[in-house]
Structure 1
Amino acid sequence: MTARVLVVDDVPANVKLLEARLSAEYFDVTTAHSGAEALAACERAECDIVLLDVMMPDMDGFEVCRRLKSNPATHHIPVVMVTALDQPSDRVAGLQAGADDFLTKPVSDIALIARVRSLTRLKMMTDELRMRAVTSREIGIESAERESIMEPGQGGRILIVDDRRSSYERLASMLEKDHVVDIEPDPSAALFRSAEGNYELMIVSLSLENFDGLRLCSQLRSLDRTRSLPILALCEPDDNAKLMRGLEIGINDYLLRPIDRNELHARVRTQVRRKRYTERLRDNVQMSIEAAITDGLTGLHNRRYMESHLGKLVEQATSRGKELAVLVLDIDYFKSINDNYGHDCGDDVLREFAIRVRKSIRGIDLACRMGGEEFVVVMPETDMAVAATVAERLRRRIAAEPFPIEQGNRMVDVTISIGIATLESQHDNATQILKRADQALYRAKRDGRNRVVADAA
């Protein structure tokens, strides 16, 4: 998808120039001539990145950036300030306002396009996570947005890769007050260390003595464990070609030597904040996946997951000529437990029942709660004789020891009925096996409960 760039400047000639440069590289360009227009366009989600002038009459770029970064709906949009201001203090002011970069006019076409491409690529990766998580607002996506706005970006775990002692000692001395800093002078060991160290930022010198710093950055991007680890590159001021190549490879940000202390701190905080925001999004996506397939009360897989996964297991068993068994379990007289002791105690029984089921089956077996007091256990590579043995052992385990309720202050006797069915032929499917196991369960209940009955097919 073509990235959408919002150019914000109150001087029409500047807007036209940037629009022409970006359009020539096939970006989709929209424009705004004031801070208010820019804020409105971002609220409508009309852009993937903002190129923002600082000196505007109604609202300067610093204030526009602060408002964008303090709004949960827009704080994830990258902002690049493009301005004639060229002092280190100006860059720091922009970065502290939340800008992702600060380009000084006149901006070279190569630098502009490389930075826009780099930041929009990161934005689209974040958008994918946000899209997956947005359906799970009830389990924390909104708090992830709020927490990211409040995140100070301090206490980061940082690995510096630099083989010049004077350089890495100076960097460490500047950062150690606010962050946990490790140093790796050996670039060959840095890749392994970064994969094992749970870092939030890598600072990599591109001027290593006997090693190509860009190769290290490329290797970091090629490994699953370090693909999302932010990289802040340190470059010599005249090494534009190496810097542009680094942005193409996937470095997140850069600093030109000599390093300004305040700019270093601002850029490090930005990368640590972004890393933590991305991790929160990933956590929320994982939580939403788990919530979709897990029964909240017992922690077992739910019916939706069972129906999907059972079909795959049956297909796999039939294609390989393997056995497969299905157990359908039902807690006897569960309604009377709810009626006599209350639904909270019924929940206690269900939770304890799930624990005992887990302890009675193998790691490859699939235990699910179908709903209410009915459960299913799917046992790959298991014939009827073994399944019956496991079912009987489980039945005895349930009946042998009363279940604690009311926080362990009372005990209640529980028994279960179990029906078993196995894969009979290559034409069998998940629905048929489950139905036969359910019919066997019905016979177990009809014959007096607290027993195991095998399908007679």
Structure 2
Amino acid sequence: MSGRILIVDDSAINLKLLEARLTAEYFDVVQASNGEEALAICRSEPLDLVLSDVMMPEVDGFELCRALKSDPRTTHLPVVLITALDQPSDRVRGLEAGADDFLTKPVRDLPLFSRVRSLTRLKQMTDELRRRADTATEILTEAEFAPSSVSELPEIVVVSDHARLQARIARSLQTIGSVREFADYDTAFAAVQKRQVMLTVVDLVGGNGTDPIRFLARCRASEKSRGMPIIAITAADDDRTAAKALEIGAYDYVQRPVDCNELVARSRTQLARFHYGETLRMTLERTLELAVIDGLTGLHNRRFLNTHMSRAVTEAERRQGTFSLIVADIDHFKRINDTYGHDGGDIVLREFARRLEASVRASDLPCRIGGEEFAVLLPNADERTARVTAERFRAAIEARPFIISDALELPVTVSVGLAIFPRGGQEVSTLMRAADAALYRAKSAGRNQIAIAA
């Protein structure tokens, strides 16, 4: 995963140094030497993140952040402020201005890159969710697409085996939510699975002999808590653990000694992001259920895929990027229907869809586009990523038989065709034909394999 990063600094030397560090990590870098120039770029070009110095003439970093967050065109663009200011009050001021993070000079590579990757990943996932909402409104022009609101007092879980720290954090967070405290990580995980928790703050120092990071992994592996914001607490200057926490699934972190004002500011940011995401999800679920969802499998249908692919083409052309399309067909499905009836065929289709969803990324779009034909749109995926995803999916179908009844298990395989934009075609119809042609080659070559459009 890469991203397009705007760096803002009135020092040409600082710009070049930061550009070199980010380019070495395969980020696409854009530069601005002042706040006004940065605002113009943010309002006219696609970006995934802004890294801005604070101390600049005229429009400083705080003012830039406030301007971006107050503009509907850029309000969801993550902003990281970088400065020599090192007082807790400075960090809080930056976070309250709308910054997603606040890094102190000299910025070390590990926290810089882990923050950038985490925020870029979240931005791209939110962008994809917003594009799907836009697709829904385009399809359902008569639908009432009013945003929902999440109005109840947010439930917050605090997990730490350090009693004094736990109590201090809980007291500070009671100003923004209903707080539940846990000293045991297994008990906390069980509680998170039973109720809709909107934020969890987890202490990664200690653990009473257990590995606290495993708590993060379990939360992200569970469908119930996969989208829940998590803020990790690490030891002072423990960049390695912080980076690992962000990689595993934490959305943010603070280091000891914990400044509770900073923690509250970061918590407000995470709750706002959670509420926005939930609003998009609830609206999509409400509006799309009948119009663009396949009733048997719960996947999106061909109508949604075609409309969304048009947006993907436009976005890829604008960013000079790429995306991939997978078309998959269940091998010998007619034989399954003829032998076991439509009820048996429906069981296979539902399980096939479940394994397909489990094999792709959260940002990918799996669809059922025909009787036994499925497709997956993979945003920002080049040929290598698409091939790995397709092989993981193919292997998941073949790995275990499909259970038709208590006494019957049926082996199932799948043939897969891949097309890569723009090589496979620069229009929806040509890209789909290229993927279909590759699928036909996979079937002709013996099925249960992958072919890629030339």
Q: 1:200 aligns with which of 191, 198, 201?
A: 198
* Structure 1 residue 70 displacement after superposition: 1.6
Distance 2:162 2:72 in 1: 41
Which residue is 1:174 aligned to?
A: 172
Distance 1:71-1:142 versus aligned 2 partners, 3 A rule: farther
Q: What is the identity, as a one-letter code, of the residue corresponding to 1:171?
A: I
* Structure 1 residue 262 displacement after superposition: 1.4
Which residue is 1:374 aligned to?
A: none
Aligned residues of 1:36 and 1:59 also touching (Cα < 8 A): yes
Matches within 5 A, 1:405-444: none
Matches within 5 A, 1:289-438: 289-290=288-289, 292-293=291-292, 318-322=337-341
Distance 1:284 1:238 in 2: 41
SS in 2 for 1:6: strand
SS in 2 for 1:232: strand
- After superposition, what is the alpha-carbon deviation per residue over 1:197-219, rounded to whole angstroms, capped at 9, x for unaligned? 20110100001232211111111
Distance 2:173 2:335 in 1: 54
* Structure 1 residue 261 displacement after superposition: 2.3
Q: What is the identity, as a one-letter code, of the residue corresponding to 1:172?
A: A
- After superposition, what is the alpha-carbon deviation per residue over 1:345-374, rounded to whole angstroms, capped at 9, x for unaligned? xxxxxxxxxxxxxxxxxxxxxxxxxxxxxx
- Give the TM-score of the pair, scaled to structure 2: 0.62
Distance 1:289-1:315 versus aligned 2 partners, 3 A rule: farther
Distance 2:195 2:251 in 1: 19
* Structure 1 residue 140 displacement after superposition: 6.5
Which residue is 2:216 aligned to?
A: 217
SS in 2 for 1:92: helix
Distance 2:23 2:73 in 1: 27
SS in 1 for 2:113: helix
SS in 2 for 1:59: coil
Which residue is 2:109 aligned to?
A: 109
SS in 2 for 1:203: strand
Which residue is 2:155 aligned to?
A: 157
* Structure 1 residue 265 displacement after superposition: 1.1
Distance 1:288-1:43 versus aligned 2 partners, 3 A rule: farther
* Structure 1 residue 46 displacement after superposition: 2.2
SS in 1 for 2:341: coil
Q: What is the identity, as a one-letter code, of the residue corresponding to 2:232?
A: A
Distance 1:288-1:94 versus aligned 2 partners, 3 A rule: same
| Aligned CA-pair RMSD | 2.8
Which residue is 1:131 aligned to?
A: 131
Which residue is 2:358 aligned to?
A: none
Which residue is 2:378 aligned to?
A: none
* Structure 1 residue 45 displacement after superposition: 4.0
Distance 2:152 2:104 in 1: 27
Which residue is 1:283 aligned to?
A: 282
Aligned residues of 1:7 and 1:52 also touching (Cα < 8 A): yes
Which residue is 1:184 aligned to?
A: 182
Distance 2:180 2:110 in 1: 33
**Identity rate of aligned residues, in percent?**
46
- Please identify, of 215-224 and 40-49, the stretch whose mean Cα deviation from structure 2 is larger: 40-49
Which residue is 2:81 aligned to?
A: 81
SS in 1 for 2:232: strand
- After superposition, what is the alpha-carbon deviation per residue over 1:354-396, rounded to whole angstroms, capped at 9, x for unaligned? xxxxxxxxxxxxxxxxxxxxxxxxxxxxxxxxxxxxxxxxxxx
Distance 2:76 2:342 in 1: 51
1:25 aligns with 2:35: no
- Give the TM-score of the pair, scaled to structure 1: 0.62
Aligned residues of 1:164 and 1:185 also touching (Cα < 8 A): yes
Aligned residues of 1:154 and 1:179 also touching (Cα < 8 A): no
Distance 1:166 1:285 in 2: 43
Which residue is 1:375 aligned to?
A: none
Distance 1:162-1:21 versus aligned 2 partners, 3 A rule: same
Distance 1:84-1:154 versus aligned 2 partners, 3 A rule: farther
Distance 1:238-1:284 versus aligned 2 partners, 3 A rule: same
Matches within 5 A, 1:139-154: 139=143, 143=147
Distance 1:88 1:25 in 2: 30
Distance 2:81 2:287 in 1: 36
SS in 2 for 1:72: coil
Q: What is the identity, as a one-letter code, of the residue corresponding to 1:9?
A: D
Distance 2:340 2:216 in 1: 47
Which residue is 1:330 aligned to?
A: none
Aligned residues of 2:110 and 2:240 also touching (Cα < 8 A): no
Distance 1:319 1:12 in 2: 71
Distance 1:181 1:62 in 2: 31
- After superposition, what is the alpha-carbon deviation per residue over 1:392-446, rounded to whole angstroms, capped at 9, x for unaligned? xxxxxxxxxxxxxxxxxxxxxxxxxxxxxxxxxxxxxxxxxxxxxxxxxxxxxxx
Aligned residues of 1:174 and 1:261 also touching (Cα < 8 A): yes
Distance 1:62-1:170 versus aligned 2 partners, 3 A rule: same
Which residue is 2:273 aligned to?
A: 274
Which residue is 1:241 aligned to?
A: 240
Distance 1:154 1:259 in 2: 27
